[in-house]
Structure 1
Amino acid sequence: MRLSTVLFVALFALSPSLQARPAAPPRAITPRGPLAAEELNNIAVFKASSPSVVNITALGLERDFFSLDVQQVPQGTGTGFVWDVQGHVVTNFHVIQGASGARVTLADQSSYKAELVGAFPDRDIAVLKIAAPAAKLRALPVGSSRDLQVGQKVYAIGNPFGLDQTLTTGIVSALNREIESVTRRTIKGGIQTDAAINPGNSGGPLLDSAGRLIGVNTAIFSPSGASAGIGFAIPVDEVNRIVPRLIRDGRMVRPSLGVTGGGAEINRALGLPKGVALLRVQRNGPAARAGLKPFTRGDNGIVQGDVITAVDDEAVETMDDMLTVLERLEPGNPCTLTIWRAGATRKQTVTLAESED
């Protein structure tokens, strides 16, 4: 023991004030009033919703160095939520991307092997299924995202950094943000929130103050990789459109017009209006049967083709815009195209086919 430490202890040991210690009972508890209405609502939303939120562990294959046996090992964690009592669980596609399997842990810590039902990477949505008893499965009530307003309160429940059943709160900071999916397709209508979203929150629910699902937390914007008060969620209207189709078909069956469009540079170069200039029309496809023509090169220059400027009266400027609108429909559905050709505009009804991809 150092000399300074010995002297310090000795001084305190010899201090007269410490030789006769007074009684030191615990401090009296100060009564508090009732919880504020906002606090009560926070508690109510968490109690009602947290049993629906699950922890997802993505599994990868690893070969043992000595035995050369291959086994599944955890390679990452994320969040999901119970969709229905049949055991369907919704999460982000990027949570299970590249995994050889997954395990789903419910709020009561029971764990189940998960099977992949279907995924739509363009919208970063995946559906898993577990064989859990129906009594353990509590589906979240589904809300709407089309009537959200900036400023209304939201809640996120998830497993940030593996800390399961974590509640964070905030507001809708902005609407109609664009999120880039893992396939670099644009997810439109994204919800921006300042509720803390961190690695591990991906795939978890964003809830409104009534405890209804309004989005799926999917991304953060942060220089450090942790929460910086800017998080994004896929709107529930997209989720509620895609998930039933993944459950039914195992994949997102795309409706198709049978066309290939050019980029904005084509429109600028040819002095065309904003829209999708057709560079290729598939033979015997829906567009060809409806009389649509692509731009072609002739002996005397460019032969005028068609520019699709709207689908069902919703303006489109790019192929991505057009695919987004078409994905709301299904093969066999009719849609109305607004078409520009050589200065004239017309409308044409087309029956969609099934995409080959």
Structure 2
Amino acid sequence: MEKITWRSLFKTGVVLLTVFTLAACNAFPSFLEALPFVKSSEPSPNLQEATPVAQKNIPTPTAVAPGASGVLAAYEGTLEQVYQKVNPSVVSIRVVSQVSAVPQSFPDFPFFFDPFGNLPDTPQIQEGQGSGFVWDKEGHIVTNNHVVEGADKIEVTFSDGYVVPAELIGTDPYTDLAVIKVDVSADRLVPVTLADSSQVQVGQLAIAIGNPFGLSNTMTVGIVSATGRTLPAGETRYSIPEVIQTDAPINPGNSGGVLVDAQGNVMGVTAAIESTTRSNAGIGFVIPSIIVRKVVPSLIANGKYEHAWLGITGTSLTPAVAKAMKLDEEQRGALIIEVAKDSPADKAGLRGSTEEVKLDGSTAMVGGDVIVAINGEPTQTIEDVIAYLATKTNVGDQVNITILRDGKEKTVSVTLEARPSSKQTASATSGQVYLGISGVVLDEALVEGLNLPKDTTGILIQRVQADSPADKAGLRGGTRPVSINGRMVLAGGDVILAIDDQAITSLKDLQDVLAQHSPGDVVNVTILRNGRERTVEVTLEARP
């Protein structure tokens, strides 16, 4: 993970060992019983007794509580056994790619070398490093999509130093997973064992093994910090649900490695971190095994994975939004903001939000259907909807969606379809033309959290669709996931402030402006980039 998210991640950490006090000794027996491997605390017969050395005025060391050494030995023994079990399954991955040369100097002046904005196209060789793990005895290895994306050459190094080339078998950018394959004898392949990530609990031991900063066979330790996080999926407009958060040190190079439990079973694939320094800050994100178990077999068999698609964008219902919709302020659910044309949701008659209101100084869209359950399972947030579709449905499934519409509950039957490719979809579209971006409306929390100028209003671009008008004009999407007040957004993208001098403060503003134009029209988009305002000409196209 690179930067702070999808490019090479992770670094060696220091295991913090607690000196237990006598008062805590009563808790030791149950802790010891929970550990699968216990290292004997008996002294080795080969150790020689040290010769005492006379010293003066040295304070007496604080006594370690009885039983503490046994707990420490058990803890160390667990880590040693986990490493011995899992390390042979983890590999280092080196990729070589041919890329166009991009000037590295003067990043705020992309046209510095050519007043006409033509960047040199002389190809350069770029190397990257990541991690992976053995999936089966046939030579399949799982890693992150962003580790091998665009690679011209892939090289795998096993834990014993054996190096072998690999070929790409399948990728899925929507879950940031990929499968490569090596041709080696079966006795060199040690497949991992998957844990059930749906049973992972906050506070349990979390052990990461990977290739941080190219330091192969590195193990770091922490705990599961949180579960049920949602992470933006690479360069797509979708999200990965049920992500595990850990404080086990993860750094660039750990991407594609494993996070295992105390039994050495894989809870998930290390994928991203949140940091301002591009190295461990105690917040790492892991693609859960429940997603890995579902996606990887399809990548091996078909080279791709088809995701069940509903065709909505939405947000979690808050007390303020519920009140604005004349609902009980304690009502929870997923408010539909937009319904994609000809999507399963559209065909089933689900409705998006059409009314614009001001809440705490920010603009919000309200009035759409509120999803409160799928197949009888409650959905209290938009993350619940994403997680249910990703983990419990398949293409072609018929689901019963319970909604609130105008304050009344009703159930709608929807037949899920395959998620269309990015070339078939565009987020910010209206009428005949489209821009080709997905974004979030800035509010006070985002402005403050992203260190934007005070009172900035507009739309923060999250993704730019490939080959769209926005892409061709050079508009930039976000590059690093950050959590602001518990909300995951991609930071670093352009902020759309205005189009043809019409201020853009909401999604409706953007839709209204686009609705005034036809394919071929050129609009001047005012953006905020790296703290500076600039205007970019965009030629609009017919929506795909």
Q: TM-score range by the shorter chain?
A: 0.7 to 0.9
TM-score (norm 2): 0.51
- Aligned position for 1:209: 262
Corresponding letter in the other structure for 2:390: E
- Aligned position for 2:86: 49
Offset at residue 87 of structure 1 (A): 1.4
Offset at residue 92 of structure 1 (A): 1.4
Cα distance change of structure 1 residues 316 and 122 upon mapping to structure 2, 3 Å threshold: farther
| Alpha-carbon separation, structure 1, partners of 2:418 and 2:389 | 11
Out of 328, 334, 337, which is 2:398 matched to? 334
TM-score (norm 1): 0.75
2:295 paired with 1:275: no
Q: Which moved more, 1:223-232 or 1:123-132?
A: 223-232
Residues 57, 74 of structure 1: 8 Å contact kept: no
| Alpha-carbon separation, structure 1, partners of 2:223 and 2:352 | 48
Offset at residue 260 of structure 1 (A): 4.1
Corresponding letter in the other structure for 1:98: G
| Alpha-carbon separation, structure 2, partners of 1:152 and 1:227 | 20
- Aligned position for 1:223: 276
Residues 192, 231 of structure 1: 8 Å contact kept: yes
Offset at residue 348 of structure 1 (A): 2.9
- Aligned position for 2:536: none
Residues 281, 294 of structure 1: 8 Å contact kept: no
| Alpha-carbon separation, structure 2, partners of 1:41 and 1:263 | 42
| Alpha-carbon separation, structure 1, partners of 2:147 and 2:216 | 15
Residues 212, 251 of structure 2: 8 Å contact kept: yes
Offset at residue 314 of structure 1 (A): 3.6
Cα distance change of structure 1 residues 306 and 40 upon mapping to structure 2, 3 Å threshold: closer
Q: Give the 3-state SS of the residue equivalent to 2:197 in structure 1.
A: coil
Offset at residue 248 of structure 1 (A): 2.8
Deviations 1:168-211 (A, max 9, x none): 12222333333333236433332222222121111111111111
Out of 374, 384, 409, which is 1:345 matched to? 409
| Alpha-carbon separation, structure 1, partners of 2:324 and 2:302 | 41
Corresponding letter in the other structure for 1:242: V
Deviations 1:287-324 (A, max 9, x none): 4664x254699xxxxxx975544323241654x75444
Residues 137, 186 of structure 2: 8 Å contact kept: yes
RMSD: 3.4
- Aligned position for 1:77: 129
Corresponding letter in the other structure for 1:327: A
- Aligned position for 2:296: 243
Offset at residue 162 of structure 1 (A): 0.7
| Alpha-carbon separation, structure 2, partners of 1:160 and 1:77 | 9
Matches within 5 A, 1:167-316: 167-183=219-235, 185-257=238-310, 259-261=311-313, 271=325, 274-277=333-336, 279-280=338-339, 282-283=341-342, 286-287=344-345, 290=348, 292-294=349-351, 306-312=369-375, 313-315=377-379
Residues 207, 222 of structure 2: 8 Å contact kept: yes
| Alpha-carbon separation, structure 1, partners of 2:252 and 2:90 | 16
Offset at residue 276 of structure 1 (A): 4.2
Residues 336, 353 of structure 2: 8 Å contact kept: no
Offset at residue 272 of structure 1 (A): 7.4
Offset at residue 77 of structure 1 (A): 0.3
Offset at residue 245 of structure 1 (A): 2.5
Cα distance change of structure 1 residues 280 and 216 upon mapping to structure 2, 3 Å threshold: closer
| Alpha-carbon separation, structure 1, partners of 2:303 and 2:239 | 22
| Alpha-carbon separation, structure 2, partners of 1:74 and 1:132 | 27
Corresponding letter in the other structure for 1:310: A
The share of aligned pairs that are identical, in percent, is 38
Corresponding letter in the other structure for 1:126: A
Q: Give the 3-state SS of the residue equivalent to 1:238 in structure 2.
A: helix
2:205 paired with 1:158: no
- Aligned position for 1:147: 199
- Aligned position for 2:433: none
Out of 93, 96, 101, which is 2:153 matched to? 101
Residues 404, 410 of structure 2: 8 Å contact kept: yes
| Alpha-carbon separation, structure 1, partners of 2:326 and 2:171 | 37
| Alpha-carbon separation, structure 2, partners of 1:152 and 1:295 | 40
Corresponding letter in the other structure for 1:277: I
Residues 278, 307 of structure 1: 8 Å contact kept: no
Q: Give the 3-state SS of the residue equivalent to 1:146 in structure 2.
A: helix
Cα distance change of structure 1 residues 324 and 335 upon mapping to structure 2, 3 Å threshold: same
Offset at residue 79 of structure 1 (A): 0.6
Cα distance change of structure 1 residues 281 and 206 upon mapping to structure 2, 3 Å threshold: closer
Q: Give the 3-state SS of the residue equivalent to 2:206 in structure 1.
A: strand
Cα distance change of structure 1 residues 72 and 272 upon mapping to structure 2, 3 Å threshold: farther
Offset at residue 214 of structure 1 (A): 0.8
Residues 276, 316 of structure 1: 8 Å contact kept: no
Offset at residue 43 of structure 1 (A): 1.5
Corresponding letter in the other structure for 1:230: I
Offset at residue 286 of structure 1 (A): 4.4
Q: Give the 3-state SS of the residue equivalent to 1:327 in structure 2.
A: helix
Offset at residue 164 of structure 1 (A): 0.7
Offset at residue 137 of structure 1 (A): 0.9
Offset at residue 253 of structure 1 (A): 0.6
Larger Rg: 1
Deviations 1:137-183 (A, max 9, x none): 11011111222222222211111111111111222233333333323
Offset at residue 250 of structure 1 (A): 1.7
| Alpha-carbon separation, structure 2, partners of 1:31 and 1:72 | 60
| Alpha-carbon separation, structure 1, partners of 2:312 and 2:246 | 36
Q: Give the 3-state SS of the residue equivalent to 1:114 in structure 2.
A: strand
Matches within 5 A, 1:84-123: 84-123=136-175
| Alpha-carbon separation, structure 2, partners of 1:223 and 1:142 | 32
| Alpha-carbon separation, structure 2, partners of 1:334 and 1:51 | 43
Offset at residue 268 of structure 1 (A): 7.6
